[in-house]
Amino acid sequence: MNEIYERCSIDSDRYVHDSDKKALKALTAIPGFTPLLRGFMKIWSERQLRIANMASNIKITEKQLPEYYDMLPPICHRLGIRVPELYLELDPSANAYTSGDNEPFIVLTSGLLETVPHEYIPTVLAHECGHIACHHVLYHTMGEMIINGAAQLLGFGSLISLPIQVAFYYWMRCSELSADRAAMVYDGCADKMIDICMRLAGADKDIGLNIDRNLFMAQAVEYKDMIKESAWNKTLEFLTISHSSHPFLAVRAYECNQWAKTKQFLRINSI
């Protein structure tokens, strides 16, 4: 039997990031969030997203691009979730995303497959499966619609206050740290997640650059130290990232590297 399947499933409560929990609690406590959620659920249709995928993207299955589909079952076993539908989208941007609610699905872009080496795709999939395991997907879908303006088109844009927008962005960034940890739980180390951060930062697999992981980590530490130097630097960081749904890549790499040293990760990795 594949030794991956011999490893026990890990509950997301064991690795979800503290900032994820706190940010979600703060988001849902904002006055107006509950009416927004109710309005979203009345109008939004998960089936509509599935129709769009089936009509426009390539569904990856045991027979269609099986080299990618076969990566999913051991990941889902480790994270304790059902195997979601998987799609390939024509998009030059290196990206992967998860959407839906009761039947979540994952989409990989063609740009991602061009940027990230084949052996790192399971780590990307484990990150996306981490969003499912951590129950991020419904709120992520809401957040993405708020970000791209679809909420206005669907008619509930008037329910979106500035505090809710800011809180959604912040929680989405924090949720990425939990999903990164899910990938580490599957991989058993931080190295692959750090390497993916490097790839997305500029080390395209076809460029042939000799990028040093340790030097990238030193760069991340230098960045963290620079932000700590003054309140003004912290303010500049906030202004730069306040309308971003993902943390800075150097920060993600730093967080992965630090968590890999903790007793919490070592205990999980021993299971």
pLDDT tens string 153-200: 566 667 778 888 899 999 999 999 999 999 999 999 999 999 999 999
pTM: 0.93
Query: Two tokens at 85?
Result: 């539908």
In DSSP terms, 88 is beta-bridged to 58, 108
Please provide residue 227's backbone torsions phi and psi, each rounded to the nearest 5 degrees.
Answer: -65, -35
Closest CA to 175 of 143, 219, 148: 143
Closest CA to 249 of 207, 181, 198, 206: 198
Contact in structure between 119 and 191 (CB atoms under 8 Å) = no
In DSSP terms, 86 is beta-bridged to 60, 106
Query: Two tokens at 143?
Result: 């957040």
Taking residues 261-265, what's their average pLDDT?
97
Give the β-pairing of 58-60 and 85-89.
Answer: antiparallel
Query: What mean pLDDT is reported for the chain?
Result: 91
Closest CA to 59 of 81, 94, 89, 83: 89
C-alpha count within 13 angstroms, C-beta hemisphere, residue 39? 18
| Per-residue pLDDT band at 41 (split at 50, 70, 90) | confident
Given this model, what pLDDT does residue 66 score? 98
Give 93-144 pLDDT, tens digit per residue.
999 999 998 899 999 999 999 999 999 999 999 999 999 999 999 999 888 8
| Per-residue pLDDT band at 152 (split at 50, 70, 90) | low
- Which of 5-9, 45-49, 255-259 holds the top average pLDDT? 255-259
Query: Two tokens at 97?
Result: 């995303």
Given this model, what pLDDT does residue 36 score? 86
- Measured CA angle at 66 (ends 65, 71), to 5 deg: 120
* Cα Dmax for the chain: 55
Given this model, what pLDDT does residue 1 score? 42
Q: Compute CA distances 60 → 54, 70, 108, whole Å.
A: 11, 10, 10
Domain count, the chain: 1
Is the pLDDT at 3 greater than 90, yes or no?
Answer: no
Q: What does the CA dihedral 186, 191, 193, 197 come to, rounded to 10 degrees? A: -170
Query: Two tokens at 178?
Result: 């939990």
Contact in structure between 76 and 82 (CB atoms under 8 Å) = yes
Percentage, residues of the chain above pLDDT 90: 74
Given this model, what pLDDT does residue 79 score? 97
Q: Compute CA distances 81 → 74, 84, 192, 208, whole Å.
A: 10, 8, 22, 36
Domain that holds residue 190: 3-269
Q: Compute CA distances 137 → 47, 102, 128, 129, 145, whole Å.
A: 15, 9, 10, 10, 12
Q: What does the CA dihedral 172, 160, 100, 108 come to, rounded to 10 degrees? A: -50
Q: Position 239: which residue type?
A: L
